[in-house]
């Protein structure tokens, strides 16, 4: 799953930019999803005390699902970590985050003017879009592409720059590639490293109910040695063979 964010001040063209990006990704046969960050403290989809789902939550239900004829809404009574939210998008090619800035992923900034860009600028910015990008080719060495006039070029850039989401380990937890996931993400974005340089993606994969669980290399090695220690004593085992174990 490739994840990137579109950030900018109000009315700078974030949603319009995302609309054009999603349309172009879908036209290329990609499965695209999106996450919208609401910057309004009192926001709640279900805040009517007389509604049945509100009464469920008030009674203490930790997860409420409302199923209608045309949609199903799952309500968590808490703000979820972004990586937890992204775990629900397993199988998607791209996920676009609108207004999300608490996860280090490649970022497109939309703006009216240069001072607006500076409010949202970070090392992860790889493109400037929105209203400010009209008539520009770059800003501070970063390409400026309008989603309205040239969505094709913008998505071409996204396909070149955005890699599969990194695990998010810090250097104390992993660091097997020589840096933490944030630093590796920056190197990949700058063309100084490749996604395959992530040591956590080598050798051992673990899934629970179809969802992949990221493991640092140290844990992978423990699991590998434990399994090989048992399987290696069985008839039919040969070195270098693919081993698959399922628990039901």
For residue 165, the model assigns a pLDDT of: 94
Closest CA to 126 of 181, 180, 190, 193: 190
Q: How do strand 2-8 and strand 107-110 relate by DSSP bridges?
A: parallel
Residues forming a β-bridge with 36: 98
Per-residue confidence (pLDDT) for residue 105, from 0 to 100 = 96
Instruction: Map tokens 């009216």 to a residue.
Output: 112
Please report which helix (H) or strand (E) contains residue 224, including its range: helix 217-231
More confident residue, 132 or 108: 108
Taken in order 210, 215, 219, 224, is the CA torsion positive or negative?
positive
Pairwise CA distance, residues 24 & 152, whole Å: 7
Summarize pLDDT for 53-107 with one digit per residue, the tens.
888 888 888 888 889 999 998 888 888 899 999 989 989 999 999 989 889 999 9
Mean pLDDT of 22-29: 97
Mean pLDDT calculated for residue range 153-172: 91
Q: How confident is the model at residue 43, as a pLDDT? A: 60
For the entire predicted model, the pTM comes to: 0.82
Helix H, strand E, coil C: the string for 50-69 is CCHHHHHHHHCCCCEEEECC
**CA 103, 192, 213: angle at the middle one, nearest 5?**
40
| Higher pLDDT, residue 11 or 97 | 97
Alpha carbon distance 64, 84 (integer Å): 17
Torsion of CA 200, 205, 207, 211, to 10 degrees: 50
- What is the C-alpha separation between 227 and 218, in angstroms, rounded? 14
* pLDDT of 37 above 90: no
What Å distances lie between residue 51 and 55, 59, 67, 193, CA to CA? Answer: 6, 12, 14, 52
pLDDT at 153 over 80: yes
pLDDT at residue 219 above 90? no
Taken in order of first residue, the domains within the chain and their CATH numbers are 2-161 (3.40.50.300)
**34 vs 48: which has the higher pLDDT:** 34
Mean pLDDT over 198-226 rounds to 80
Top pLDDT among 40 and 204 is at 204
The mean pLDDT of 2-8, rounded to a whole number, is: 96
* Mean pLDDT for all residues in the chain: 88
Q: 35-49, 87-101, 133-147, 210-224: lowest mean pLDDT where? A: 35-49
Reply yes or no on whether the pLDDT at 151 is more than 90: yes
What proportion of the chain, given as a percentage, has pLDDT over 90? 44
Provide the 8-state DSSP code for 164: B
Question: What local confidence, expressed as pLDDT, does residue 41 receive?
Answer: 59
Mean pLDDT over residues 191-215, rounded? 82
């Amino acid at each position: 799953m490739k994840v990137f964010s579109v950030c900018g001040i109000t009315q700078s063209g974030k949603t319009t930019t995302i609309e054009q990006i999603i349309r172009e990704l879908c036209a290329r046969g990609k499965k695209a999803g999106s996450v919208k960050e609401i910057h309004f403290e009192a926001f709640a989809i279900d805040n009517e005390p007389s509604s049945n789902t509100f009464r469920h939550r008030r009674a203490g239900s930790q997860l409420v699902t409302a199923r209608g004829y045309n949609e199903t809404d799952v309500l968590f009574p808490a703000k979820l970590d972004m990586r937890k939210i992204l775990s629900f998008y397993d199988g998607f090619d791209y996920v676009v985050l609108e207004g999300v800035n608490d996860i280090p992923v490649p970022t497109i900034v939309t703006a009216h003017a240069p001072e607006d860009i500076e409010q949202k600028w970070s090392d992860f910015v790889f493109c400037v879009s929105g209203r400010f990008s009209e008539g520009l080719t770059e800003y501070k060495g970063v390409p400026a592409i309008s989603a309205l006039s040239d969505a094709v070029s913008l998505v071409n850039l996204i396909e070149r720059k955005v890699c599969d989401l990194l695990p998010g380990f810090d250097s104390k937890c992993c660091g097997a590639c020589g840096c933490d996931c944030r630093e590796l993400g920056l190197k990949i974005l700058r063309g100084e490293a490749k996604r395959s340089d992530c040591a956590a993606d080598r050798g051992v994969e673990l899934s629970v109910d179809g969802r992949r669980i990221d493991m640092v290399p140290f844990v992978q090695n423990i699991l590998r040695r434990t399994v090989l220690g048992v399987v290696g004593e069985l008839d039919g085992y040969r070195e270098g063979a693919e081993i698959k174990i399922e628990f039901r």
